[in-house]
Amino acid sequence: MLSVKLESVTIVILSDGNNPRLLNQDFLERNNIVPKEWKVKDVLVTPPFAQVSYDNGIQILVEENKLQFQVSKPGDSIWKNELPGIALSYMNVLPHVPYRAVGINMVYLSDHPKGNEAEQELIGKLLQQGPWINYGQGVTGAVLELQYRATQPHMNVKIGVLEEVGVTGRSLAGFLFRVNFHNDFNPEQTDVRKAYIDSIGDRYQEFMNYLKTLPF
């Protein structure tokens, strides 16, 4: 099976009537949403959105119709336990908001293959061969989005090759997987929505099982 690393995890909660002006370090600490010992990296508060970022990679963003709880370069504990806990604590502090759909987004990156080898393997193994492959001077890259929406939660998987920009120019890294699990809820479905947010570890395992089916 292809070896991948988890680059980021995001919980997105769609809701109406959020107040971005509420979000700041004091609000989060006073309501025990985040530990007081966490070190703040950045705070931005504007009328349309507000954002608080911490040194440990956690970022909380509030827009009028969406909440977003994200962690970059996550360790197991922080995304499996702390991230869902932060999201649920925030919602418990503001229970009057009509929370609806929940998305669990994960980004994975492979170490190998890299560069042109990864690009050619994606084209050769996931695209149907035909004259369109050789059109012009030949296809040089592809990004595929596969959708699995027969039942909830829906799963969308976008597969490409990461393009990095450095001081020496652009270069290709490994396979990049952007995975989204989406589940709709009514505002009153508090318990099942909570259980779904807490199931973030199951979503991770579901994608790992899916990864075994790919021909890489």
Evaluate whether 40 touches 16 at the Cβ level (below 8 Å).
no
Distance in Å from the first CA to the final CA of the chain: 7
pTM of the entire structure?
Answer: 0.94
Looking at per-residue pLDDT, the higher value among 97 and 1 belongs to 97
- When pLDDT is averaged across residues 98-110 and rounded to a whole number, the result is 97
Which domains does the chain show, CATH number per domain? 4-211 (3.30.310.50)
Task: Please name the residues in contact with 216: beta carbons below 8 A apart, sequence gap of 6 or more.
Answer: 2, 110, 121, 125, 175
Provide the residue type at 21 as one letter: R
Proportion of the chain above pLDDT 90, given as a percent: 87
Lowest mean pLDDT of 43-47, 103-107, 198-202, name the range: 43-47
How far is residue 79 from each of residues 69, 89, 151, 200, 205, measured CA to CA in Å? 10, 15, 25, 8, 13
Confidence check: pLDDT of 169 > 80: no
